[in-house]
Amino acid sequence: MTYKRIKELKKLDSIQATAHYFGIGEHRLRHLCKTDPDVPCIKIGNIRKIIVDKFPEYLEKCSRENRTL
């Protein structure tokens, strides 16, 4: 994903929108947010938001470490 494409996205986005955009299951992304402290997400009240510009870095890190999502 290019930097220009990332800049078009919001800084924070919902789990649903991020899962759809990156092709990850919504339930899997929710589970990762709850269990993996490296996932770039924040909790606002009862809602979790993904920090979109850091999420590709997280995916690359997982890929380098051969981690399964």
Q: What is the pLDDT of residues 13-28, one digit of tens each?
A: 999 999 998 999 999 9
Which pLDDT belongs to residue 14? 93
Instruction: Count CB atoms within 10 A of the CB of residue 50.
Output: 28
pLDDT at 8: 64
What is the rounded CA–CA span in Å between residue 46 and residue 17? 17
Q: What is the pLDDT along the chain (69 residues), one digit of tens a residue?
A: 565 565 565 789 999 999 998 999 999 999 999 999 999 999 999 999 999 889 999 999 999 999 888
In whole angstroms, what is the distance from residue 59 CA to residue 22 CA? 10
> Does residue 11 sit in helix, strand or coil?
coil
CATH number of 11-64: 3.90.105
Chain mean position to CA 1: 13
Global confidence as pTM: 0.79
Residue 66 pLDDT: 93
* Tokens encoding 16: 């649903």
Domain range list for the chain: 11-64
